[in-house]
Amino acid sequence: MGQAPVVYGQSTRPPRGDYSRAGEDYTCPQDYASYTAADHDTYRRLYERQRALLPGLASQAFIDALPSLGASDHIPRFEEVNERLYKATGWELVGVPGLIPEVPFFTLLAHRKFPVTDWIRKPEEFEYIVEPDIFHDLFGHVPLLFNPVFADYVQRYGQGGLKAQGLGACEMLSRLYWYTIEFGLIREAGKLRAYGAGILSSSGELAYSVQSPEPQRIPLQLARTMRTRYKIDTYQQTYFVIGSFEQLFEMTAADFAPIYERLKGLPEFAADAREAVAT
């Protein structure tokens, strides 16, 4: 029993989370009894702050789905969220101790199981945390899993990830995840809105991504996205925009293998590259 901690990118401190609790698939029960009153208060304050920022910036689909998450004044129990989520889209939440490797991650998504880190940041990390915690995962990701089209896209991503692993194309596919599920923008009724979890759970990047003149915003194109590097420690310099979740789902219906083959050997693009790129 137990797994090795997982690290993505570079960090000067060891990964957080008790991986000795993780099973072979990296999941573990939510250790609800370990949450302190301060933990619940941190969740409440984070939730209240982010909810107040959503109007005019977040996707209406996200705003409409947020109440399905349940309680906002304390950390929700996964089993209570699952009662509603499974009825809505057939998804369920599973606890994990922190970041997990690609294959277990893809496998869980492919089976409509969404991994949620079960620890919460410390009060001194209220403004910024390096690794995703339970607030990021629950508030940022879970509401849109109640949307049937988006929920199907996330499952399709997991299925595609398992195939990409065998083709040596995980880096290209991870960029698609980053620029859609984590940092995607959408046009709703002609207006730019955020739907990516990394944006929706950030007090600063929510307004920046939608309103700032600084970043580049490009209609989502698979090849362009898969060739674009990203930064994990700053606001994004490029965002990719979809017209609807249906468009996103249809765009990813094709077999990616020919795309991977075509892109191998082609130059990558920096996170802030502004060149027009043929796809």
Q: Which two tokens stand for residue 257?
A: 């293998």
pTM: 0.92
Asked if the structure places residue 277 within a domain, the reply is no
Asked if the structure places residue 203 within a domain, the reply is yes
Condensed to tens digits (0 to 9), the pLDDT of residues 11-41 reads 455 668 889 999 999 999 999 999 999 999 9
Asked if the structure places residue 120 within a domain, the reply is yes
DSSP-derived 3-state class of residue 174: helix
DSSP-derived 3-state class of residue 269: strand
- Check the annotation: does 136 bind a ligand: yes
Asked if the structure places residue 233 within a domain, the reply is yes
Instruction: Assess whether pLDDT exceeds 50 at residue 10.
Output: no
Asked if the structure places residue 96 within a domain, the reply is yes
Neighbours of 210 (CB within 10 A): 19
Q: For position 277, what pLDDT does the model report?
A: 46
Domain that holds residue 87: 21-263
CA-CA-CA-CA torsion sign (8, 170, 62, 186): positive
Instruction: Assess whether pLDDT exceeds 90 at residue 61.
Output: yes
Asked if the structure places residue 128 within a domain, the reply is yes
Q: For position 9, what pLDDT does the model report?
A: 46
Q: Which two tokens stand for residue 223?
A: 């090849």
Condensed to tens digits (0 to 9), the pLDDT of residues 140-161 reads 999 999 999 999 999 999 999 9
Largest Cα–Cα separation, the chain: 53
| Count of structural domains, the chain | 1
Pair 276, 224: CB distance under 8 Å:
no
Euclidean distance between CA atoms 66 and 277, whole angstroms: 36
Tell me the pairing of strands 185-188 and 113-117.
Answer: unpaired
Give the CATH number for residue 96: 1.10.800.10
Confidence at 232, pLDDT banded by 50, 70, 90: confident
**For range 8-12, the mean pLDDT:** 47
Condensed to tens digits (0 to 9), the pLDDT of residues 85-144 reads 999 999 999 999 998 989 999 999 999 999 999 999 999 999 888 789 999 999 999 999
Asked if the structure places residue 279 within a domain, the reply is no
Question: Hey, which residues are catalytic here?
Answer: 136, 141, 182, 201
Euclidean distance between CA atoms 193 and 206, whole angstroms: 9
Asked if the structure places residue 227 within a domain, the reply is yes
For residue 17, how far is the Cα from the chain centroid? 19
Condensed to tens digits (0 to 9), the pLDDT of residues 198-223 reads 999 999 999 999 999 999 999 999 99
